[in-house]
Structure formats: C-alpha cells, structure tokens
Structure 1
Amino acid sequence: MKTLSVLSGAALAALASGLSFAAHAQEEEQSIELPEILVEGRMENPLSGPTSPSYAAGTLTVPGVGEAQEELSRMPGAVSIVPAENYADTYAHDFEDVMDFTPGVYARKRFGAEVRLSVRGSGLSRSFHMRGLEILQDGVPYNLADGAADFQEVDPLIAQHIEVYKGGNGLRFGSVTLGGAINFVTPTGYTAEAENLVRIEGGSYGTARLHSQTARAQGKTDIFAAMTGNYVEGFRKQEQEQSFRFSGNIGHRFNDRAETRFYLISNTVDQELPGTLTLAQSENAPEMANPGNIALNQQRNVRSIRVANKTALDLGDGDVIEFGGYAGYKRLYHPIFRVLDYRGPLAGLFTRYRSEATLGGHRNIFTLGGDFSWSEVDAKQYTNVSGSRGALAASGTQTATNLKLYAENQFYVLEDVALVGGLQGIMSYRKFENDITPARNDREDFNSVSPRAGVLWDFIDNAQVYGNVTRSYEPPTFSELVQATVFQFVPLDPQRAVTFEVG
C-alpha cells in the first residue's frame, strides 16, 4: 500500500504539472489553482528487521527501536535489529524461532528450547550450553564470568527488540569474541504496546503457553512486568518441558537528564533430554528417545534470579554516561552420565561514557567503557540413579573473574565518511579447586589487548559501505578447562582470531 500511494502521488503530481502547463499555453492570463497534494512515506532503515512505520520513543536507560537503529547505523560492520513484532504473531519458542532469518546467525534446535547458536562460527563445535557470544538483557549479562550461558533463561516474549552485534561490533558491550553480542531489550512503561496484555497459545504435542504483561507510567515513574508459563509434552519421548519466566523493571526520571532503572529477572526451566538417534531409528521411529537417556532420565533444569540497576546521566553538550551493576544466583541440575549439580552466585559492574563533539571542525564520537564480572560455582557430581542423586562422585569450586576496558573513536574526515578505531583490554582469571583431590587444583590468567579499525561511508541516503578488521581473544570456559569426564583442570590456550569484514 505504501508503494502504491507513493506512485499515485507522483503520478498525480506529474498530471497536475502537465495540466498547469497546458493551461498557461492556452491562456497566459488564466491560472488554475489545484489542491495541495501531500505524499507521505518513510525512509527504510538499512538495518534488517523493522517493518512498522513508527516506534515508541525510548528513555535514557532503555532506547526505543528508532534510537537503537540510529546508534547501530554508525557501526562499520554488520549489525541487525529484530523488533518483537517480527515474531509476535508466531509461536516463538526459542532462539531459532526469533533468529532464523537474521543474516550471519546460525540457530538450530537441539532438544526443546535448547539451541545450537553461533554467529560467524563462534562455538560451532559446542553442542551444549553456549560459548563465544555475549548474551544480555538490557545490557545485563546472562553469561557467567567464564563466558558460559544457557539459552533457556531467555524468554523471547519479553523483548521489545533484539540487537545483534556481530563479531567485533560487540565492542558496544566490551566483547570482541568471534561471535559478538546479542542484547534483548525489554519494554518499559513508556514503550510497551499495551497497559495490559494477555496471550494464550496451544497446539499439538501438548503445547500450551500463557503470557501476560502490564505496564504503567505515572508521573516520573514507570513500571513494566511480564511473565510466561510454558508447557510442551513434545513430539518425542523424554522431551517434556515446562518453564516459568518473569521479567520486570521500574524506572524513575529525576529530570530530563537523569534516570535510573531497577530490574528483576527470574527463571524456572525444567527440560527433559531425549538424546540422539541413529539414522535407521530416526527414519523408522522418529518419536522415540535414546534408550540411555530414558534409563538415566536425562534432564537440564535451571533456576536463576538476577537483580540489576542501570542509571543514565545526560551531561549536556553530547556527553552521556551509563553505569550500573547486577547480582544473581543460578543453579543447574543436570542429570546426564552423572547428576551435575552446579550452583553459585554471580555479580558485576559496568559503565559506559559517550561523547559527541567536534574535533578540528569535524564530527567526532568517542566511547569509553568498562565491565567487571565475577562468578563462583559450587560444582558437584553424583552417581545418576534414574535422574536422582546417588553417591557423591566429584566436588569442586570454579571461580572466574573478568575485567574488560574498551574505547572506540569515530572521526568524520568528511561529512559522510568516518574512520573508526577501537581497543579492548581483557584480564581474566580462572581458578579450580578440587575438594576431593587437591592435586588437581589449578589456576590460570588470560590477558590480552585487541585492536579494531574500520571505515564507514554513507555514500547516499539509506545506503552505506563499510569495512573493518578486528582481533578477537576468547578465554576458555570451565566446560573446557574442567572437563566433566575427568574433573580436573586442563590448561588450554585462548581462542585467537583476526576477522576482516566488508559490506
């Protein structure tokens, strides 16, 4: 309809011009006054995803889709925005459902909500949990300090939009892992689509989901809360899944230049694991589960809670600073060859300063940020007795810390050409203590500085050419350092890569 209206408007304008010219040719003294014709439309953003002509404006702490588009369009690399409306009318159950058509993102379901997720080959060999990517909600990390994460904690229905920072573009959050970062941005009391919303879904294989959310804005304070209950019997045996997820935030504007927002995120996810089948089994009885998985009642169950704060201050003259922190607790109960019972606290602090000014008469955008994270996991393994804990087989403590500092500068040598340079430093610490066999204790530091350089050219409206080269440095997670089958520290080198990108 938009295209037709633009064409119709152009055609009418041309017709009106022709009529006016003909009238003057016949009689110069006679003038014909035509009604004003207004052609309305919008310029498509070069970022993938958006389909709606308008989005609600965000706030200092949580940008809206439009503000996010503007910021991402200044990055000299491939980035994407996926608005929630792109999958709002589908059964978006997991990462595959919401990321399936995002270029550069590989997301394929493994079991239930468990997905193999990879961006540009990150962690491609990993068929469980996740590595090589930063997963965040409103800038608050889901990852433990060692980099591991569980996809099941993320509920797609609580997102306003999803930001995908591929590769070195993850420097926005201090990440220069090969994959980059994926940030789920939740609505606020100002940007939610409705004050009250209830969504009920049901389908085959015992599928049922109930989602509700509420949003209010009163004076300078706003609140948003959403919860989702999900149950899936599954197509295969040993594939039942049930989950309950909650996400809420409350914000307060002190004035037009100062805002703070508090978050509460809670997840309860229980999922059975049906296991893999042979080719003959999958062809003849695809609904069956692996007999070994049934015998051990294999599952992966997660309990987690996080609280966080994010505060933003507009300092004037193009200077904005964000800072905050988070703390939480997570438990993974994971009956497989043994019953893995891993639990422990996590915490972190973050800050980001952005300045937009002129330097030597040229536009200049400077970003400086830092991130500190810590987690400690009490890792215990028990004999698996049909999915229940038997005798204690292994016990240890996994401690990880990360300190990341990063800076990026965009200098516009011309009005539409920017040179981009960035630098990220990381200091990571991994320590493992074996409670039963202290001789297997060990620790290791991972330190590096990774540069980035790029160029961005807005050669015409709504089109860009960019290029960049980025070095990535990724310390190993405890899934590699402390392999479950031997339960001892295995010294490993970090992943290193150099990525060239043109587009």
Structure 2
Amino acid sequence: MGSTSGRKPSGSYRAFVSSSMALFAATSLGLAHAEDTQLSTVVVTGAARSEAQKAKVELDKTPGTTAVVDMKEVEKGRASNAEDVLALQPGVFAQATSGTGANKISIRGSGLNTFYQGYALGIKFLYDGLPITGPGGTQEDLLNMAAVDHTEVLYGANAFKHTALSLGGAINFVSRTGRTSPGNYARFEIGSFGYRKQQLSTGGVVGDSDYYVSVLHNERDGYQDNTANKGRDLIANFGHVFSPKLETRFFLRYREEQLTNGNTLTRAQLKHDPRSNDVPTGRKKDGTTLLGSNTTYRFDDDSTLEVGLGYNDYPLLNGWRYSVSPQDWRSKDTSVVLRYRRAHDELFGLPSDSSITFSNTLAYLGDVKSHSRSTGQLLQYTKYTGSRDSVLALGNELQLNDRIWLSTGLSFINIKRRAEIEYTTGVNTSEFPDGVNYSEWDTAPRLGLRYELTPDIQLFGNVSRSIDPPVTWQLGSTGSPFIRDVKPQKATTAELGVRASAGIFDGSLTFYRSWIDDEILSVVVRQASANQDQLVASSNASPTIHQGIEAGLNALLWEGENGDTLNLRQAYTFNDFYYRHDNTFGGNELPSLPRHVYQAELQYQQAGGFYAQLNLRSASSYFIDYANSFSAPSYTILGARIGFEAPSKRWDVFLDMRNLTDERYATAANTTYDARGQDSANFYPGDAFNVTTGVAFRF
C-alpha cells in the first residue's frame, strides 16, 4: 500500500531507462551499418503479486468499504483467533471471550448484543466463497483461521458478490493451497496461561494438480480459573486443471474442540478478582466438518460459470461439563452457489460487466435436545429442520466514462424459518406459541458510484437495503417452553467515503448511516447459576439508527537507503447507535459496543529481517443495558512485538507481549434490560499481561 514517491526507482524502471538511452544514442550517432549492431537483451522483471495483493486490487473496485488482511502479517505474532486477524480494521469489533475462538465480532453494530460464547451474528462468514453461516448462525470453532492465506472483509452491502444481505456484510477466508503455499511448513507457539499451538503442513504442484494438507493442535489452560480449552484440526484441499476452460478444487475442514468458558463478572470482580469463575460452562464439538468444492468453467475470455457446493456438520454438546441440563445440538447444512459472470460487454454503448448469482443454504437437519444430567430424562426437544436462506442476485458495473463507474444490483430473497417444540416438560403460560413456521419474500436493491479523481484518489458512495433473518435458536431452544415469532430485521444504509494514496500516506475514510426497522436485539433474562444455564431472549425492536465513521491511515514515516522502514498504522471507529423515539427508552444509546475505538501499530522493519513493533488499543466506556444506567469501563491496552524473518525465508521467530500495563478490563459484556444503576455479573475479563513466543520453519 502507499505511493512509491521518494523511493528508489525499481529494477524494471532502471532497465527501461537504460534500454531507451541506448536506442537514442544509436539513432543519434547515425551508424552506417545499424544492421550489424545489436543492442544487448534487456530483461524486465517485477515482483509477482501475492494472492492478498491481487484480492485488494479487485476489492478496491467496489464502491464501498472493503479490506484485505494478509495472514503472513498476522503470523508475525500470535495467531489464534479472529481477534488477532481482524485487529486494526476500522468499523470491525473483534474480541475473544475466555481466550477461545468464541469471539464477539461485529461490523457496524451487526449482531449488536448477541450471545458471545458460541455464535457470531449479523455477518456472513465464508471459506473460499462457500458459506459456513446458515439458518442456525455461525459456529465459532471454524473461526480459528487455521491454514488461511488472507481474509477479505466486505462491509455491509459491499458483500453483494457473496449474496450477503446482512447489516455487517461478509468475511471470506481464503485457504492456502499447493500453489500459494508449496513445500513443508512447521509452526510452534507457546505462551502464558498454558497456551500451546502446533501446526504442520505440506503442499505442492504435480502436473496439472496441486494439493495442500495441514494438521493443527491447540490448547490453553486459561486466564480465568478452570477455563481450559483444546482443539484439533485437519485441513486439506486438492485442485486440478482439466483444461484451459475447466478447473475445480475440493475442500475439507475438520475440527474437534473441547472448551470451558468462564462466567461473567461484576465490575468489582473485574477489578479485584478477575480470575474467579464460579459458574463455568463447557462446550464440546465432536467433529465440525466442512466439505466443499468450487468448479469454474470458462466459456470464453469474457464469460465464466462458477459452481460451489458445500456440506456443513456442526455437532455441539452444550453444557458438556457442569450444566444440570446439557443440550445436544445437531446442525447439518447444504449449500449451493451458482455464479455466471460476463465481462467486457456493452450496455447502452458503454463498457459493462454483469453477474447473476444464486445461493441456497438449507438446514436439512437441525434440532436441539436437553435432558437432566442426574436422571437422563428428556426435558425438551426443539426442531429447526427445513429452515432456509435463498438469494438470487443480479449485478452490473457500467463504466460511464474514463473515471466514473456505476454499480447496480437487485437481490430477490426467500427466508424460511421453522422452529417447533416437539416435546417439553415445561408448561407454556405465556402468550407465545409452541411453534413458528413462515416463508418470507423480499427484495434488496443496491446502487453505487465510484469516481477516480486521480489514479491515487477514489471517491465512492452507495445506497443499499439489507435483510437480516433471525437464526433458528433466536426463535427458541431449550430454556423456555415457547417460541418467539422473531421477524427479519431490515435496513436502508447510505455510505460515502474516499480511498487515497499520497506520498508517504495511504488510507480511507467512510461515513455511513443505517435506518433499521425490527432490529433483532437480545437481552439476558436469567444469569447462569450452579443450577441453571443462562437464558437469553431475542425480539424485534422499535426503529433504530446505526451510524458512524471508519478511518484508517497508514504512513511510511521513514525509509533508509538499505530498505529499512518505519511504518505507522492507525484505525479509528466512531459508533453511534440509538433508538428512534422508543416508547420506553426514548432516544437511548444501544448497549454493548464502545462509542470510540482507536488502534495503532508502529513497526520498525529491517531489510535484513529483524522487526520491532509497539501497538495500542483504546476503547471508550459503553452502556450494558437499554436503560443506559450502568456501563463497562473504558480501557487502553499496550503491546509490543519483536521478531526475525530469515532472508532465506526458511525460518522466522517472534516474541509477542500483550497488555504490558496489566490492565484489568472487559473484552465484552452481556446486555441486560435495566441494570438500575447496579453492578451485576455481565463482564468478560480480558487477559492480564501475557507473552507468546513462536518459531516457524519452511523446508
């Protein structure tokens, strides 16, 4: 990123100048026998772009906010969960709870105050364009980023190409392959609180085929008392090019996981006893599986058809340890993604690129059973089978002139939700039914404009519609003998921004505002105790507003003659979320996310491979209840990192130090209806000062 102004001319540039001067000299001298004179051969070379760089070039054509995270940069330190990968992305909030993959992840306030120990809502997550988000939400165990080459973050409706219609947009993890990560690789990490991670992988190209296989094991004893977790991964993909027109790739991701989450704490405990854990909760995954394939057929240079098929199996034993009424969840989804693209076409006499995309994700098996640990008696059985999300999206990009592109899109959506309590020992005394079964049709238009002011300055804007259906368990699961008829939330979003590169600076600035109807909000109606699990209720809210500012700025502060550099990265997010004249809460702020978040990273990089970094994350206070009566503490976390990458690229080593000042803070908080100004157990404690070291070998 950034301009090359003030830097040394590249090898390609020097070669071009040398050959031009030689040709000019030969012509000027008027050589009589030019045919006997032959200029020496000049070879022009340039560094090949990485897959992450290619992805950024493509995403920068979007008339809205996007980002690409290169995993090679993340792996200069600890790389264990989404918090590590999504740091320094303005507008994105990602914080781990209990140090596991159960991160709270939100883009522009999506999934504002949902359950933080197992699901991320309001964002569509994908691996290689295949969704892992279905009618039942997103299971957190696949968010450990194992064997990922780079991550694409597409905010809001800018995720149109993935038929993602949620307020937060989409996050697409692109896997390593035998072509992008050939050879053998070994990586070992060890750190505070019993953290250990080992990974081995191999990849290569054989003729027209390539392969990649990775195995990983991770474990951690935990910062809070009794919060151990461990997991094992097997990741593989195989690609084959049948002809210049046809190629395909098969994917496998398999993970087993056992973890114990710590209970939430009061602010007083957060300050004086942050390691306490009186009510731990256990979760066990006996084999989360993603099987998929992507096949591309090229009719010609301008037309392609992509076919993606996916199968997801998410078994979960919730309350595996400690709970008096553990729950056995079964979730099996099938996905189909069809995309036809036509490029270099004409529409109204102007250059045009078009696409037609169809996606369908079906919960062909989904249910949950709870039983008594002491007696084995079945307590409740709820079924979700048949719930489905289907989208047909028509898109076009029209080049109006040399500097202006118009993007249009229209999505047709069908949402089917089914939740039926087949059996319960409870008695339904509420006004709610024991089942909900609906099919809802909707449309979501999108209009965007991109203006290239100069080759290095790009203005953009868009207006779009988003549709967020409830995930199945938000309708009801095992805690209550009734089902809530929660409808999809709908929003209209306007976005304006600029991407620019000038001299030593490059960055982006975006303003957005979303008018939301029926926002799906959640509240903790019963805290977990030794005798019962936490109970969370979701419902549609009165009209709300989400608006904010997303700013990112990178600066090359210094560059030595030998290639040493000093870089500063900064990201600022302003969140302004509130009710529009609610009958009870008026114009109160919506709880659960900091109003201001600032992140920075200052890195010195030697051309020889040594690097040293200082980093900072600062978040303001925020309310934890809709009545705005009690708040989470603000915090500032400092970190440092040093490492060395061998010039041969054969090995590297790092030391990652976090929370240098041993700050006691909350990574996230539960949401309560009205705290009445009283301290209550709603806070997830962040890790104290900790150190991780790692080493990697390529051979």
Bin for the TM-score computed over the shorter chain: 0.7 to 0.9
- The structure-2 alpha-carbon separation of the partners of 1:7 and 1:174, relative to structure 1 and needing over 3 Å to count, comes to closer
For 1:335-354, list aligned pairs within 5 A.
335=319, 336=323, 338-354=325-341
Aligned equivalents of 2:460 and 2:317: distance in 1? 45
2:56 is matched with which residue: 69, 80, 101? 69
Aligned equivalents of 1:330 and 1:195: distance in 2? 31
**1:215–1:222: 8 Å Cα contact kept in structure 2?**
yes
Aligned: 1:489 with 2:483 = yes
Aligned: 1:411 with 2:398 = yes
Q: Which has the higher helix share?
A: 1
1:127 is matched with which residue: 115, 124, 129? 115
**1:165–1:180: 8 Å Cα contact kept in structure 2?**
yes
Aligned: 1:444 with 2:447 = no
Q: Which residue identity does 1:495 align to in structure 2? A: Q
For 1:222-371, list aligned pairs within 5 A.
222-289=210-277, 291-293=278-280, 297-299=281-283, 301=285, 303-335=287-319, 336=323, 338-359=325-346, 360-371=348-359
Partner in structure 2 of residue 395 of structure 1 = 381
- Superposed displacement of residue 302, structure 1: 5.8
SS in 1 for 2:261: coil
What whole-Å deviation, never above 9, does each CA across 1:298-329 have from its counterpart, x for those lacking one?
A: 33546311211110012214111100211232
**1:170–1:180: 8 Å Cα contact kept in structure 2?**
yes
Aligned: 1:498 with 2:492 = yes
What whole-Å deviation, never above 9, does each CA across 1:456-479 have from its counterpart, x for those lacking one?
A: 112211321100011111111122
What whole-Å deviation, never above 9, does each CA across 1:210-266 have from its counterpart, x for those lacking one?
A: 011110100001101112100101111121010011211101101122101111110
- The structure-2 alpha-carbon separation of the partners of 1:7 and 1:74, relative to structure 1 and needing over 3 Å to count, comes to closer
Aligned equivalents of 2:314 and 2:212: distance in 1? 23
Aligned equivalents of 1:472 and 1:147: distance in 2? 19
Aligned: 1:136 with 2:130 = no
2:467 is matched with which residue: 469, 473, 485? 473
2:65 is matched with which residue: 58, 73, 78? 78
Aligned equivalents of 1:214 and 1:287: distance in 2? 39
Aligned equivalents of 2:8 and 2:202: distance in 1? 42
Aligned equivalents of 1:351 and 1:8: distance in 2? 46
Aligned equivalents of 1:234 and 1:346: distance in 2? 32
**1:83–1:162: 8 Å Cα contact kept in structure 2?**
yes
Paired-residue identity, %: 25
Aligned equivalents of 1:103 and 1:424: distance in 2? 27
- The structure-2 alpha-carbon separation of the partners of 1:89 and 1:69, relative to structure 1 and needing over 3 Å to count, comes to same
Aligned equivalents of 2:454 and 2:76: distance in 1? 35
**1:274–1:298: 8 Å Cα contact kept in structure 2?**
no
Partner in structure 1 of residue 448 of structure 2 = 454
**2:128–2:173: 8 Å Cα contact kept in structure 1?**
yes
**2:285–2:314: 8 Å Cα contact kept in structure 1?**
no
SS in 2 for 1:97: helix
Q: Which residue identity does 1:465 align to in structure 2? A: L
* Gaps in structure 1 of 5+ consecutive residues: 21-28, 30-35, 43-52, 57-63
Aligned: 1:381 with 2:370 = yes
- The structure-2 alpha-carbon separation of the partners of 1:470 and 1:206, relative to structure 1 and needing over 3 Å to count, comes to same
What whole-Å deviation, never above 9, does each CA across 1:375-409 have from its counterpart, x for those lacking one?
A: 12121012356xxx843211121121121110111
Aligned equivalents of 1:472 and 1:491: distance in 2? 20
- Superposed displacement of residue 3, structure 1: 8.9
Q: Which residue identity does 1:136 align to in structure 2? A: L
**2:444–2:465: 8 Å Cα contact kept in structure 1?**
yes
SS in 2 for 1:156: coil
SS in 2 for 1:71: helix
- Superposed displacement of residue 5, structure 1: 9.7
SS in 2 for 1:338: coil
- Superposed displacement of residue 442, structure 1: 2.7
SS in 2 for 1:171: helix
**2:195–2:220: 8 Å Cα contact kept in structure 1?**
yes
Aligned equivalents of 1:157 and 1:432: distance in 2? 33
Q: Which residue identity does 1:288 align to in structure 2? A: S
SS in 2 for 1:435: strand
Partner in structure 2 of residue 185 of structure 1 = 174
- Superposed displacement of residue 183, structure 1: 0.4
Q: Which has the higher contact order (CA 8 A, sep 6+)?
A: 2
Q: Which residue identity does 2:381 align to in structure 1? A: S
Aligned equivalents of 1:3 and 1:379: distance in 2? 54
- The structure-2 alpha-carbon separation of the partners of 1:302 and 1:118, relative to structure 1 and needing over 3 Å to count, comes to farther
- The structure-2 alpha-carbon separation of the partners of 1:469 and 1:8, relative to structure 1 and needing over 3 Å to count, comes to closer
Aligned equivalents of 1:154 and 1:264: distance in 2? 15
Partner in structure 1 of residue 412 of structure 2 = 425
Aligned equivalents of 2:481 and 2:253: distance in 1? 31
Q: Which residue identity does 1:368 align to in structure 2? A: I
SS in 1 for 2:180: coil
Q: TM-score w.r.t. structure 1 length?
A: 0.85
Q: Which residue identity does 1:396 align to in structure 2? A: T
Aligned-pair RMSD on alpha carbons?
A: 2.8
**1:369–1:406: 8 Å Cα contact kept in structure 2?**
yes
What whole-Å deviation, never above 9, does each CA across 1:37-66 have from its counterpart, x for those lacking one?
A: x9x999xxxxxxxxxx6434xxxxxxx334
Q: Which residue identity does 1:445 align to in structure 2? A: S
- The structure-2 alpha-carbon separation of the partners of 1:252 and 1:396, relative to structure 1 and needing over 3 Å to count, comes to same
Instruction: Single out whichever of 153-162 and 463-472 deviates more from structure 2.
Output: 153-162
SS in 1 for 2:479: coil
* Gaps in structure 2 of 5+ consecutive residues: 22-28, 30-39, 498-699
Aligned equivalents of 2:359 and 2:145: distance in 1? 25
Aligned equivalents of 2:246 and 2:59: distance in 1? 23
Aligned equivalents of 2:494 and 2:3: distance in 1? 37
Number of paired residues? 456
Aligned equivalents of 1:85 and 1:201: distance in 2? 15
- The structure-2 alpha-carbon separation of the partners of 1:109 and 1:344, relative to structure 1 and needing over 3 Å to count, comes to closer
- The structure-2 alpha-carbon separation of the partners of 1:288 and 1:452, relative to structure 1 and needing over 3 Å to count, comes to same
- The structure-2 alpha-carbon separation of the partners of 1:91 and 1:380, relative to structure 1 and needing over 3 Å to count, comes to same
Aligned: 1:219 with 2:198 = no
SS in 2 for 1:486: coil
